[in-house]
Amino acid sequence: MPASGAFGSPSFIITLTFHKFTLCSLTVFIIMKISC
């Protein structure tokens, strides 16, 4: 199936991981800015 192949591609996983990492970093940055 083309759909499952797209979701299983390495580029998709890398993009997902990168967005998760960016979101986490942004959240931590905002929390630290509010705390200080």
pLDDT digits over 3-21, tens only?
555 556 778 778 888 999 9
Distance CA 16, CA 10 (A): 10
Instruction: Give strand ranges (E) for the chain.
Output: none
Distance CA 36, CA 26 (A): 16
Q: pTM for the whole thing?
A: 0.51
Length of the chain: 36
Distance CA 26, CA 18 (A): 12
Q: Say which residue, 27 or 9, is predicted with more confidence.
A: 27
